[in-house]
Structure 1
Amino acid sequence: MTLPPPPTGTSRPPAGGRCPVATPLYGPDLDGDTMPAFYEKLRREHGPVAPVTIAPGMQAWLVLGHRELLRLTREEQDFSHDPRRWTLLREGRVPLDSPIMPMVGWRPALLFTDGQQHRRMRSAVSHALACINGHELRRSVRATAERLIASFADRHEADLVPHYARKLPLQVITGLLGLDERTGQQLVQAIAGMVAANADSVNAAQRMNTILQGLIEEKRRRPGNDVTSSLLHHPARLTDEEVLHNLVVMFVAGNQTTVNWIATTLRILLCDPAFRSSLTGGHLSVDDALDLVLWRYPPTQNFPARYATRDLEFGGQHIRTGDMLLLGLAGANQDPEVLPPDGVPVTGNRSHLAFGAGPHTCPAQDPARLITRTAVDTIRHRLPDLELAVPESDLGWIKSPWSKGLAALPVRFTEPQLPQAATSHAAEQQAFSQTFPQSGEPR
């Protein structure tokens, strides 16, 4: 369906006013350490909705207010998910090779639909996720975690980002999709190449599509007990194309956020002695640590996007039809209106916005929490004397305005406590990893 064209123009100031100056939401100076201060500066200067640019010449609004972000996510009649409404895109002012396009380009998937179409797709996705057996998933995560720990246990040191947090969700999620381990690693490589935004990205995207198309064809013929089969045979009758693109959304969105969640939770446990002591003493739980991360360091900082369906006043700004609005998840979590006076969230408080809100709240948050909790719990028990191998001040975040993830987490330990089954599998796993290395590892 072709949407009616919205009125052109994205920056006309309100009557009697002037157009606010937009701040770049990109560049080498914006990393995980500087972003909190960046959000507070925008809040002081512009209020809960701030003008930003996401690429040269591409203006958008960053929603930083907790109350405003709730409205943005709940009121589909004013804020659509369909990027075909974006004025800059409709006017041909967004280059097709722009690095923003992989994130905001339209796909026939639940992230880019509203109303009945969204409900139809979400019913299939939610059902597929609800059919995941929690006990089996926990066992799978624990076994995968133990095999990964065994692969570096003899060295008594590791970087837990590439060696643990990055590998574990990939292996678990590809299994949930119904892929065998070898094909799952090939899919991992293809998606890593696609999101790298380099000369090979187009070829990587084609490899990803080929793998998923093959998976869909196989599950049409021989359904299994997996997410792909559930999507294909749900009463919503998703087309093969819709299944493919919803799998992409589930894999890409679910994988990196879980990587970040695992690594950042481990950082808190390693660097906060008081919290670690309370956890060991039973006063706090691993879930408390997980929630602390979702408040302070949400795995996704900012998320695209909504598009205004009409002219309106919003958060003190004059929003035009077709304007892009970004979900400032990390900034909204810092909103002084919802935080205690000292800025530290109350333990157990889950009113954060790390998973979004409204009809498009992340449908995978329960399995994601189970995966993360099990990953953290397993390494705590298997490496009980785990400690940071560098000063905390040396730890850095990846440079991204979208994702909040650690670049590295080097650790050391002396007495790994692993079951025999995991140890015997370590050599086989290491040989396999050399054949299909993770992104960023040498071939």
Structure 2
Amino acid sequence: MTVPDHREAPGCPYTRAQGSPLYGAAVAENPHSLYARLRAQHGPVAPIELEPGVEAWLVLGYPEMLELTRNEQLFSKDSRRWRVQQEGRLRADSHLIPMTTWRPTLQSMDGAAHQRLSTAVADTLARIDHHLLRATTEDAALRLIESWGPDGTADLISQFTKRLPLLVFTRLLGLPAEDGPHLVGLITDLVDSSKDSQRAAAEFFGLLTDLVLSRRERPGADLASWLLTHPVGLSDEEVVHHLMVILVAGNEPCINWIGNTVRLLLTDRRFRTTLTGGRATVADALDEVLWRDPPVQNFPGRWAVSDTVLGGQYISAGDMLVLGLAGANDDPAAHGPDGIAGNRAHLAWGAGRHVCPAQDPARLIVETAIETLLHCLPDLQLAVPAHELTWRPSPWSRALVSLPVLYSAFVPPRPAPPEETAWTPPPTSYGPSGSTPSGPTSTPRTSGSAPTVRPRWWSSLAGWWSGR
């Protein structure tokens, strides 16, 4: 394809008009309206600003997203090609730096280099025992629910969704339990592009560097050790960077996916009715959220290798293209004749060679967490009107600030197994065997409903979550 020189052409979006901001209230309060307006004004590829003076393209078309993610010859993952950065227009204190800086990870590589790194990550994640992962998640969810006290109120974001995935991931990584709350704060600052994002990235890197050095000397049965001993021979630096990817890409989407799914169940009468009636499952709710409110709504990015055309827009070499995952899911071209029911062709995980490698363990964690929550609290309900719920002002994540709930009944778990000298996650489920909330067999919650014997590891977790 021959593409004309258009950088100073009168029709160029950057010389004609400034792109729409992909930050602040517009993207937090009603992103679907924003994406619909951009599609109506510009088509499937729209000019945006990521912060004042930093232009990019938001890809909103479903076919265009597939082209973008599958064509490495035209659209690279290497952010060092970014024209804004090469021209010195990215401020040193830019909030975009942690999410766009090139790193030696599978997220920044193309071709054979990407294949080498993705093999190591995929093989490492494949070593996770899913039976053990489900048991660990159920137990973590139960301990959190039991810690809420007898008053029948909770904020599911601060007291459940932000805590549970990291409890599981710290276990998988072999991190000390006391590092959990600090990691939550660092990840949130990083993905929200807050004023502390660069500091958070540096602290995050330092914590994981210490872990890798420790595992190099004393390997164990954890993700860090498995990456270090993989046959492709990752360097310590590569392992640290990939642990960052696993924690951010595994933890943040799980947090948002749980919260957005519970919100759907508590605010959508149609869906809650079908769920409690046994005609739908938690898995159905999870897929609907991946279509309508995916936990990652936009993702950086791809960089144009040469001048080209996408979605009717002239793209200059070095331009950044943002994957508009939620916007592409809204594209009518993505929906079949029956809508999205039973359809998993959404783009919440991305597409092409860079599709998320952790989607299977993530789904297991999220589905298990929600099933356990519904089993333990069958009369869970929203504590405020739905319109009062607010969203975090992140260009990347689709995440609630809080999700206050009320409940009165509590279905206690089965008695704890006898105490052991070394904790081993139970091989069978504490929670429900299916995906529907329990019926009216629940009992009023009492302060003594929790088992009195706790494995040693969970005792330490309870301590740092309660501030002891």
TM-score with structure 2 length normalisation? 0.85
Q: Deviations over 1:157-176 (max 9, x none)?
A: 10101100110011111111
Task: Indicate whether 1:105 and 2:101 are aligned.
Answer: yes
Q: Return 135-144 or 81-90, whichever deviates more.
A: 81-90
In structure 2, do the counterparts of structure 1 residues 58 and 18 end up closer, same or farther at CA, with 3 Å as the change threshold? closer
CA contact (8 A) 2:44 2:59 kept: yes
In structure 2, do the counterparts of structure 1 residues 432 and 397 end up closer, same or farther at CA, with 3 Å as the change threshold? same
CA contact (8 A) 1:30 1:401 kept: no
In structure 2, do the counterparts of structure 1 residues 18 and 281 end up closer, same or farther at CA, with 3 Å as the change threshold? closer
Q: What is the number of residues matched between the two proteins?
A: 426
In the other structure, the counterpart of 1:441 is none
In 1: Cα distance, 2:175 partner to 2:347 partner: 32
In 2: Cα distance, 1:208 partner to 1:93 partner: 26
CA contact (8 A) 1:194 1:202 kept: yes
Alignment of 1:291-370 (within 5 A): 291-339=287-335, 345-370=339-364
In structure 2, do the counterparts of structure 1 residues 201 and 64 end up closer, same or farther at CA, with 3 Å as the change threshold? closer
In structure 2, do the counterparts of structure 1 residues 215 and 33 end up closer, same or farther at CA, with 3 Å as the change threshold? same
In the other structure, the counterpart of 1:66 is 62
In structure 2, do the counterparts of structure 1 residues 23 and 197 end up closer, same or farther at CA, with 3 Å as the change threshold? closer
Q: Return 281-290 or 189-198, whichever deviates more.
A: 189-198
CA contact (8 A) 1:174 1:180 kept: yes
In structure 2, do the counterparts of structure 1 residues 376 and 396 end up closer, same or farther at CA, with 3 Å as the change threshold? same
Choose from 267, 270, 275 the match for 2:271: 275
C-alpha displacement of 1:181: 1.1
In the other structure, the counterpart of 1:161 is 157
Alignment of 1:147-226 (within 5 A): 147-192=143-188, 203-226=199-222
Q: Secondary structure at the match of 1:368?
A: helix
In 2: Cα distance, 1:165 partner to 1:107 partner: 29
Q: Deviations over 1:23-53 (max 9, x none)?
A: 3334432144321111111111111011111
In 2: Cα distance, 1:397 partner to 1:17 partner: 30
In structure 2, do the counterparts of structure 1 residues 414 and 88 end up closer, same or farther at CA, with 3 Å as the change threshold? same
CA contact (8 A) 2:23 2:50 kept: no
In structure 2, do the counterparts of structure 1 residues 368 and 159 end up closer, same or farther at CA, with 3 Å as the change threshold? same
In 1: Cα distance, 2:171 partner to 2:12 partner: 58
In 2: Cα distance, 1:211 partner to 1:106 partner: 20
In the other structure, the counterpart of 2:38 is 42
In the other structure, the counterpart of 1:382 is 376
Amino acid at match of 1:364: A
Amino acid at match of 2:380: L
In structure 2, do the counterparts of structure 1 residues 46 and 330 end up closer, same or farther at CA, with 3 Å as the change threshold? same
Amino acid at match of 2:141: A
In structure 2, do the counterparts of structure 1 residues 128 and 62 end up closer, same or farther at CA, with 3 Å as the change threshold? same
Q: Secondary structure at the match of 1:307?
A: strand
Q: Return 230-239 or 196-205, whichever deviates more.
A: 196-205
Q: Secondary structure at the match of 1:30?
A: helix
Choose from 221, 235, 238 the match for 1:239: 235
Choose from 224, 237, 240 the match for 1:228: 224
Q: Secondary structure at the match of 1:332?
A: helix
In 2: Cα distance, 1:403 partner to 1:318 partner: 28
Choose from 403, 410, 413 the match for 1:409: 403
C-alpha displacement of 1:274: 2.6
CA contact (8 A) 1:10 1:321 kept: no
In structure 2, do the counterparts of structure 1 residues 271 and 399 end up closer, same or farther at CA, with 3 Å as the change threshold? same
C-alpha displacement of 1:294: 0.3
Task: Indicate whether 1:124 and 2:156 are aligned.
Answer: no
TM-score with structure 1 length normalisation? 0.90
In structure 2, do the counterparts of structure 1 residues 145 and 285 end up closer, same or farther at CA, with 3 Å as the change threshold? same
Task: Indicate whether 1:432 and 2:464 are aligned.
Answer: yes
In structure 2, do the counterparts of structure 1 residues 74 and 196 end up closer, same or farther at CA, with 3 Å as the change threshold? closer
In 2: Cα distance, 1:390 partner to 1:429 partner: 30
Q: Return 394-403 or 154-163, whichever deviates more.
A: 394-403
In structure 2, do the counterparts of structure 1 residues 198 and 409 end up closer, same or farther at CA, with 3 Å as the change threshold? closer
C-alpha displacement of 1:210: 2.8
Q: Deviations over 1:165-192 (max 9, x none)?
A: 1100111111111213123444444444
CA RMSD of aligned residues (A): 2.3
Q: Secondary structure at the match of 1:51?
A: strand
In structure 2, do the counterparts of structure 1 residues 205 and 403 end up closer, same or farther at CA, with 3 Å as the change threshold? closer
Q: Which runs of 4+ in 1 moved over 6 A?
A: 14-18
Amino acid at match of 1:230: W
In 1: Cα distance, 2:291 partner to 2:190 partner: 30
